[in-house]
Every structure is written in C-alpha cells, then in structure tokens.
Amino acid sequence: MLCSDGTKKLSFGGSIKDGDLVIVYEKRDVMKAVKVSETSVLQNRFGVFKHSDWIGKPFGSKVLSNKGGFVYLLAPTPELWTLVLSHRTQILYIADISFLITYLEIVPGSLVLESGTGSGSLTTSLARAVAPTGHVYTFDFHQQRAASAREDFQSTGVDSLVTVGVRDIQGEGFPDEYSGLADSVFLDLPQPWLAVPSAGKMLKQDGTLCSFSPCIEQVQRTCEALKSNFRDIRTFEVLLRTFEVHEGKIDSCQGEEGLSVRSPPCKRRHRSSEGSAMQDSSSSPTIKVRPCADARGHTGYLTFSRLQVSLS
Ligand SMILES: C[S@@+](CC[C@H](N)C(=O)[O-])C[C@H]1O[C@@H](n2cnc3c(N)ncnc32)[C@H](O)[C@@H]1O
C-alpha cells in the first residue's frame, strides 16, 4: 500500500504489478479490494476483466471488460482501505481518524501504542502517519482478529510499520518494555478507564492519549480515570457532512449554489475573472452539489488528554 522508503514521498509510484492490491471502483459505494494475479479474471455486471490487462497500467486507470464495460483501478490508500476492508468489528472511519491523528500530533517517526486492533482500519492510517521511521504497536486480546489484522497489514504493505500483539490490555496493561517511550496512546476498548493507568506509564512526558467510546457514560468514566495523571482533557464528537457532486440541470429558483435543499449561507460570493458576479445558467448542464442522503451520523466520542508533566 505504501512506499515506506524514507528517501521517497509516500506514494504509489509506478504502475500496477502482478501481486499488487488494487481497489476496483465501480461507483462511490461499489468498490472492492482485489489482489492482481496475471492468470485471474474479475467478473461483474459489466463483463469479464483480465488481470493481465491491468499489469503495467498506472493506478487510477480506466480498464475495459470483454463487453466494453469499465471500472477504475485505484491505489489502496488508507482512506479507500477503510471503505473496503472486511469488518470483523466496528471500525473507525476517516472523519474520526483524520481528526485524531492531527489532535494526537502523530507525525513521521512517532511511536504509537494502540488497543484494540479490531479490523485494523485506524492502524492502517496510523502506519502511514508514522512512516517511514516511526512504528505502531497494536494489541488485541482476540487471537484470530490479531492474526487477520497481520495478514491485512501484509497485503496493504504496512507490515514493516506495524507490530500486532495478542494481549488483554484492560487486564494486563501495555507491555513494560514500552514504558516512557510512547508519543501517543490510542484506546478503542469497551472499558478504556481500566487501561488509563498503563497508558500513563507508557507515555513520554507531554505524550498524548485518545480514547474512542460510543457512549457518553464510557466517556465520563474515562475522564474520571484521567483526572489524576492527565491534563487538557477534552471530548469531541466529529460529525461529517458529505456532499455528492454530479452533472445535472439547475432550476433557476435554486440560487447560486444549485441546491434543492436548504444549505448553509454562502459567505463569499464568487466572481469570474472579469470581476462580475458569476451567472447561473438554468438551461445548460452544470455541476450539482447536494448533501448525501446516506451520511454517517454519530460514531462515538473522542476524548483527548496529555500526560501531566512531572516536576521532579
Ligand atoms: C471496536 S474494535 C476496534 C476497531 C479498530 N479501532 C478499527 O478501527 O478497526 C475493539 C477491539 O478491542 C478488542 N478488545 C476488547 N477488549 C480488549 C482487551 N481487554 N484487550 C485488548 N483488546 C480488547 C476487541 O477484540 C476488538 O477487536
């Protein structure tokens, strides 16, 4: 999935090779991960696609079936992986993931401890954030889930950045060998407050902790546990509003944003290069932008805090 060579930008350089993982994109909500194999075919409602036709093409290519149908072959970024991975558990999605990576201040070179691993949705983005010199140590007490996550990290190419351990973090805490070494700790556990004392031991001075919980009662208990050893305790709920963009005709009564539903007021009025206000054309095809009907609502609460700086 990632090029973790420190001398290169993190990107999908070059073209699709035998053995690569690609995301086969039919439309926004129809995608699947496929491992390219020279002798295999992909069959869907658009016809039969030979993998051998894909090899050598750049990621992002449009490829044709025997019937002239087409799909796009996209690079397996963590964002897309989160949408296609097999759900062995509830997972974190990109709105929470992007917010928590920023708020935890995770950067290339960071050492991050995580539990539980679950389906590895967050772990994959953490791996990209710490690459090429950092590392994510992730723990789940469920042996089979840990094994499946390891396989996924291998096929998405982040395995050199992630170590998966099997351990009951609520019962035993994180292993002592990481004491005082972690830049950040992330918890997605049913009783995160039980892991807070261990997280505090693992963090460097000023290190950051985040706990994800779906229920506010869990948040309250976690905050109670954080009070003694952590400061700057803050809880967020990240609500994402997704819009779909497609070509269509705009009714003249819809206003400059072309929305047939209520939308927030537009603070800035866009002007054309000649300086006049842009005119809507009610007759010509134009781009329509409207909120998606299937937008995701509440996922959970993210509670952040920073380890108290000890004065000794
Ligand atoms: C909701 S899932 C985590 C999902 C993950 N954040 C993702 O984005 O894919 C919670 C995981 O915590 C694990 N878990 C529950 N209790 C645990 C414990 N005491 N120690 C370690 N892992 C635990 C479960 O097995 C499960 O896989």
Nearest atom in ligand 1 to the alpha carbon of residue 122 is 8
End-of-domain residue from the set 39, 59, 76: 76
Claim to verify: residue 112 and residue 56 sit in the same structural domain: no
Claim to verify: residue 159 and residue 84 sit in the same structural domain: yes
Longest distance between any two alpha carbons in the chain, whole Å: 73
Q: How far is the CA of 192 from the centre of ligand 1 (A)?
A: 10
Nearest atom in ligand 1 to the alpha carbon of residue 119 is 9
Reported as type and span, the H/E element at residue 193 is none
Q: What is the pTM of this model?
A: 0.87
Binding residues: 119-122, 140, 168, 188
Residue 216: which residues within 8 A CB-CB, separation 6 or more? 301
Round to whole Å and give the CA distance between 10 and 138: 22
Claim to verify: residue 113 and residue 230 sit in the same structural domain: yes
Cα distances (Å, whole numbers) of residue 123 to 120, 219, 260, 262: 5, 22, 39, 37
The protein residue whose alpha carbon is closest to atom 14 in ligand 1 is: 116
Assess if residue 215 is contained within a domain: yes
Average pLDDT for residues 212-229, to the nearest whole number? 97
7 has pLDDT over 70: no
Nearest atom in ligand 1 to the alpha carbon of residue 85 is 9
Claim to verify: residue 198 and residue 124 sit in the same structural domain: yes
Assess if residue 273 is contained within a domain: no
Q: How far is the CA of 119 from the centre of ligand 1 (A)?
A: 8
pLDDT digits (tens, 9 = 90+) for 23-39: 999 988 899 999 999 99
Reported as type and span, the H/E element at residue 16 is none
3-state secondary structure (DSSP) of residue 151: helix
216 has pLDDT over 50: yes
Average pLDDT for residues 80-108, to the nearest whole number? 96
What own/partner pairs with CB < 8 Å and gap ≥ 24 does 29-37 have?
Answer: 29/294, 31/74, 31/80, 31/83, 31/84, 32/84, 33/76, 33/81, 33/84, 33/85, 35/155
End-of-domain residue from the set 59, 76, 93: 76
pLDDT digits (tens, 9 = 90+) for 192-206: 999 999 999 999 999
Query: What residue has token string 């994180």?
Result: 174
Claim to verify: residue 116 and residue 228 sit in the same structural domain: yes
Amino acid identity for residue 188 in this structure: D
pLDDT at 143: 98
For ligand 1, which residues put their CB under 6 angstroms from it?
89-92, 115-116, 118-122, 139-142, 145, 168-171, 188-190
247 has pLDDT over 50: yes
Round to whole Å and give the CA distance between 96 and 79: 12
8 has pLDDT over 90: no
pLDDT at 270: 52
| Domain with 253 in it | 241-260+280-292
pLDDT at 22: 95
Claim to verify: residue 85 and residue 231 sit in the same structural domain: yes
